[in-house]
Chains A and B, each alone.
Chain A
């Protein structure tokens, strides 16, 4: 099986600096179509193909949009979360780089669908080199009347603002991202109030990932229902995945749901370097779960991966070969979270600290039975009591590794 071209159909098809070139390939036709539709028809269309939030939380996008529209309040906001901070995840980078006008169009359509007046793109500073492209796309869209007041004569006002992050993983979390947009340090806050009711600047806010948004114009123009015929079971359509680690051809691929993990690694990503054996695969970035090579024949679908004890998450896949031990990998992953925890809530701040200490002991062969029990307990407490998603998911990799590789977690001996 090979890649498909639905979400990526515009890649390379137009000059990303020119709106004229984008309109020649049918750009902004989806917006023209959208403003003549009932806003609820747009969210129904998305709900019909069961698009789940592509940032990692897997929340039903059609439902998200209809809920956002139902919230009572003025001056609603749509935010595009381009703070792609999960490790091994760089799919949004490709969408921003190769198809910026589609993203702008998508944001306007979703703004129309939820009744918003402002759109914000929150982009991580690591992607600052794409700022000029996005700013130019916004400027050109404005001069063509696709942004500003009374868009396409429909009495719909909408503007887009580009904001920059500055290297904080936690700012990918909704409430932290919003604080950052408000010009503060990006520390998450308690919910409720939920951001759909009181988000950025205390206005009702709808937060979507780059990939989820980018799908919208394509879905609107998909009269042949090409997308709906892709995929398998409840996982309809295609997904952009990023594969990296010890593979020969790391990169971003658009696959139809149902492609097996083996096909992804060996056909698309060119196999493991020097044909080494696979030690482990981490799905969905740093906060994702791990599996061993037994997952190879699992179809890449939401339910297939869940059945194998992992998840789609952000769409990242990290393949690690036999040279790196499970424990070394866990230590690296733990360093990431120890660094990125914002330190506000006790479970996440202290939990990450103590798990690091126990993992170090385990690596030195000095961990006791009690240490290992304690480590599991801390990880479980973190996942149920942390303030935000970072702390809740930080130990996904450890807890899943404890299930998949029980022999690593033995007291005393230095195990692979």
Chain B
């Protein structure tokens, strides 16, 4: 089997035990790697899977680490690079985008409020702007998704501002 050489990274014991809990909830089943990675990346404040964690999972699940990075690169909801504390995922599908706010679309409003472009992170590391495909909240459009939670009916600049302020 084609595998990268295994590395020995020290993981903080608290993180390690949290990862072990996630693995246990998935019965240490390597076929559930996608679900495991989704849960594991939520353990990090910056919502990503660090290299050390990937190697740790590979060892625990007896998977080639290349398999893990293949998944991390393939699935839009997984990341191997640090994101913001609040990655703002903006729906980029027509159903959301045809609902206009003050003649400016949701994305442009967010860009001007945060003063960043798509794919960028604010200087304080609080917000990243990402576009994603439909997340099934078309009846509540225009909507964004932040850390798994959908915030809907963002049809005015005031509502968007209030949302950004309400995040702790």
Interface of A toward B, CB cutoff 8 Å: 84-90, 93, 124-129, 163-169, 180-187, 242-246, 250-252, 282, 286, 316, 318, 320-321, 323-324, 329, 332-333, 335-336, 339-340, 342
Contacts and interface: CB of A to CB of B under 8 A. Distances in A.
Contacts of A332: 92-94, 97
Task: Name the residue among B32, B71, B75 with the largest chain A CB count within 10 angstroms.
Answer: B75
Interface string B89-108: 00011110111100000000
A185 B70 contact: yes
Contacts, number: 136
A364 B126 CA distance: 37
Contacts of B67: 183-184
Given A87-B138, A164-B38, A329-B94, 6 more contacts: A85-B133, A244-B95, A245-B95, A282-B94, A320-B94, A342-B74
With most chain A CB atoms within 10 A of its CB, the pick from B38, B136, B148 is B136
Interface string B54-74: 000000000100010011011
Interface of B: 30-35, 37-38, 63, 67, 70-71, 73-78, 92-95, 97-100, 131-141, 145, 148
Contacts of A167: 75-78, 132-133
Residue of A163, A166, A180 most packed against chain B (CB within 10 A): A166
B10 to A, nearest CB: 26
A180 B38 CA distance: 13
A204 B142 CA distance: 41
Contacts of A181: 31
B74 A186 contact: yes
B33 A339 contact: no
Contacts of A245: 94-95, 98-99, 138
A163 B74 contact: no
A126 B145 contact: yes
Interface centre among B67, B131, B139 (most CB of A within 10 A): B139
The interface centre, meaning the residue of A124, A126, A320, A329 with most chain B CB atoms within 10 A of its CB, is: A126
A335 B136 contact: no
Contact of A320 (B32, B76, B98, B132): B98
29 contacts: A85-B133, A85-B134, A87-B94, A87-B133, A87-B138, A88-B94, A90-B137, A124-B136, A125-B77, A163-B31, A164-B32, A164-B34, A165-B34, A165-B75, A166-B38, A167-B76, A169-B133, A180-B34, A183-B71, A186-B74, A242-B139, A244-B138, A244-B141, A245-B98, A316-B138, A324-B98, A329-B98, A339-B92, A340-B133
B34 A163 contact: yes
Nearest to B37: A166
A333 B34 CA distance: 27
Nearest to A244: B138
Contacts of B132: 167
A244 B153 CA distance: 13
A246 B150 CA distance: 20
Given A168-B76, A320-B98, A89 B136 contact: yes
Contact of A250 (B131, B135, B139, B148): B139
B34 A183 contact: yes
Contacts of A183: 30-34, 63, 67, 71
Contacts of B92: 332, 335-336, 339
B32 A163 contact: yes
B77 A318 contact: no
| 5 pairs of A and B residues whose beta carbons are closest in the complex | A166-B75, A167-B77, A244-B138, A185-B74, A167-B76
B98 A246 contact: yes
Contacts of A128: 38, 148
Contacts of A168: 74-76
Contacts of A336: 92-94, 133-134
Given A125-B77, A166-B76, A318 B136 contact: no
B35 A187 contact: no
A184 B71 contact: yes
B148 A90 contact: no
Given A163-B34, A320-B98, A126 B71 contact: no
